[in-house]
Amino acid sequence: MTIRTACRRHALALPLAVLTLAAPLAAQTPPTAAQSDPALLGLMQGSPVPPGQQVRWDDGSMWTFPKLRWAFSNQQALLPTATIRRAGQVSALPGAPRADLDSTPFTTLDGKPMTWGAAFDANYTDGIVVLHKGRIVYERYAGAFSAEGRHLAMSVTKSFVGTLAELLVHEGKLDESRTVASYVPELAQSGFGNATLRQLLDMRTAIAFSEDYAAPGLSDVQKMAIAIGMGPAPAGYPGPIGNFAFAAGLPGNGAHGGDFVYRTPNTMALQWVVERVGGAPLATQMSERFWKPMGMEQEATLNLDRLGTAFGGGGLNAGLRDMARFGEMIRTGGRWNGKQILPAAVVKAITAPGSAEAFAAAKYPGLEGGSYRSQWWHRSTGQTMAIGVHGQGIYIDPAADMVIARFASHPVASNRAINPVTIPAYDAMAARLSGR
């Protein structure tokens, strides 16, 4: 999606960490995963890097395909970040690799036969880890990403923010029936002010914000992109700068508590509540609550706006195995590394389905009968998911004792275009591992 401003020299292509976008496809068929490999294209190679191979923030090229395939694995080279620190011995994640899984067959939602191995490239996967009963049975990397690297998780970040909020509810520091403004008075005059924390968690607020990526002019999405620092502001730009300032400036648009509508500013406001009540920046809370006690393998980072505030709506950069660890911790009732990381009640709160009725109007492929609760997605068949655009995700299937963590750099941002391959592929893998 191209940012359109009165000053065209500042035009940027900015795929944000949201799920409901429908970015227009290029007129031509995009290059395949193999054809768009960053190494093959020579992206960011050379001293100095030739202009055609440069991936940059100031010209927006880091958000355009195929250059985003390098950018998603190298955010710290392009944007300011805060570190989510780890500590102590790395927790065990044993391996039991199976060589037979690439041949697992399935049929896509649009009726095409495919195999698990072929789906890796079809989804422009950069890395995927499959756990079965806590053991790595499948692990594969491609493109600019590796087991030692960090990758942009996009809106998977939201599920971490939601989990922190549920922890604070469990500890009695937050009350889901209280209004957002009662915790953050600065939001009192915004559309969020009289929404309850529960409505914020479940994205059932009524705010005047449209995530229409095809809207002409300086759209709501484009203003948000500027505010959160995904690209430079045009000269003389009068809009808000910073995550929280943007959320505080959004007016209401009707009564809260209606249908689920996916809007990233909900998480921006929720992060503000979590930081205010939790008494520390998001990176610190994620470090103390998750990365350190879980014995994560790598330190993670969060992208920052120009005021130094983390983008909780989609700025997490992490190692893939650590995403798998987090999913496995949820699957096992909050226990990991010999510790109870999350109280069982918190795990129950984030894995319990939300309102299917409120979710129905969204019409996500493969999620019929599903729901959204506490910044997590839920299938009607019992799986819990953290989802980010361009193919990021943590997928938890308790019935199959399976967790899948995936990073990708699909040319199409919306998971509406990716789910038709992903959902049946994951179902087929669950059946294969379960012996069904």
Residues 123, 109: Cα–Cα separation, whole Å: 14
* Distance from the first to the final alpha carbon of the chain: 42
| pLDDT at position 256 | 98
Q: Classify 107-434 by CATH class.
A: alpha beta
Q: What is the pTM of this model?
A: 0.94
| pLDDT at position 63 | 92
- C-alpha distances (whole Å) from 38 to each of 42, 44, 65, 74, 149 are 6, 8, 11, 12, 15
Residues 168, 172: Cα–Cα separation, whole Å: 6
Residues 6+ apart with CB under 8 A from 35: none
395 has which bridge partners? 385, 404
Tens-place pLDDT, residues 262-301:
999 999 999 999 999 999 999 999 999 999 999 999 999 9
Work out the average pLDDT over 63-91.
97
Q: Exposed e or buried b for every residue in 80-89, given b needs 16+ CB within 10 A? A: ebbebebeee
| pLDDT at position 214 | 55
Work out the average pLDDT over 352-361.
97
The strand ranges marked E within 349-415 are: 371-373, 376-378, 384-388, 392-397, 402-408
Tens-place pLDDT, residues 311-327:
999 999 999 999 999 99
Question: Tokens standing for 429?
Answer: 């893998």
